[in-house]
Copies of this chain bind each other. A is one copy, B any other.
Amino acid sequence: MAGTNRTKNSEVASGPIMVLVEPQLGENIGMAARAMLNCGLTELRLVAPRDGWPNDRAMTASSGALEVITEATVYETTEDAISDLNVVYAASARRRHALKEIITPRLAAAEMHAMPEDAKIGVLFGAEKSGLHNDDIALAGKIIEAPLNPAFASLNLSQAVLIVAWEWSQQGREVTGPELPMGHTFPAGKEELVAMFEALEDELDARGFLKPVEKRPNMVRNIRNLFQRMAMTDQEVRTMRGIISSLTQHPRKDGK
């Protein structure tokens, strides 16, 4: 990848490390890697992947998330995979008998962002069929449990990784408002907007549309409110005036 990209990724490299314990399907490992990189996470660890490593299906399913999938490291045991970490969470869909705090992915993300920058954080995910072993759960400080449909709560492995990675990546972005990309245009000035309104109202008056007269003020206000909601640019005001002119000054060419 180009240098620019690498810089962008390294900026966010302090996010959580995803640890897949005994993953079965290469497709899921690859899709997990892709989801991680989508969210700016790069460090993937695998504990005893069933089909060995490297894995062609994982490579294909990663859709080019090479810096995650080719750099993934493999361990024999969960203990080995987490030995250098400071904080470990266990992702789990079902309730365990362990007396351990359960938090949502969103709250876990908030916790991760509040930790010292140097703290190495990991999240354990279990095998597709069976989830994490109780011994793996015992290595974690807290359990991350996504509040899902209680009648159908089992997430695909790569989807579980995505939810944790996504929530981590969205922390602190909650206040992002809507954005209207306007390119080279600009929000229309009120003067040209009012001129457009008046041109339209003139055409409507001339056709007797704004009747009866005592209702006219309210009808005009409603129409102006309606067009205000479009938040038109200067270019769009010009387009709209062209539309009004075309509708009022030119007969149909098909004679209908």
Task: State how many residues of chain A have any CB contact under 8 Å with chain B.
Answer: 58
Given the known A-B contacts A106-B170, A163-B166, A166-B166, are A148 and B178 also in contact in the complex, defined by CB atoms under 8 Å?
Answer: no
Distance in angstroms from A241 CB to nearest chain B CB is 17
Q: Does A179 lie within 8 Å of B103, measured CB to CB?
A: yes
Q: Does B149 lie within 8 Å of A40, measured CB to CB?
A: yes
Given the known A-B contacts A38-B159, A159-B35, A170-B106, are A151 and B1 also in contact in the complex, defined by CB atoms under 8 Å?
Answer: yes
Q: Does A35 lie within 8 Å of B156, measured CB to CB?
A: yes
For residue A5, CB closer than 8 A to chain B, the reply is yes
Distance in angstroms from A3 CB to nearest chain B CB is 11
Taking Cβ atoms with an 8 Å cutoff, the residues of A that contact B are: 1, 4-5, 8-9, 12, 31, 34-35, 37-40, 63-65, 95, 97, 99-104, 106-107, 142, 146-156, 158-159, 162-163, 166, 169-170, 173-174, 176-183, 185, 233, 236
Q: Return 7 A-B CB contacts under 8 Å, by A number.
A: A5-B152, A12-B149, A63-B154, A101-B178, A103-B178, A104-B170, A146-B166
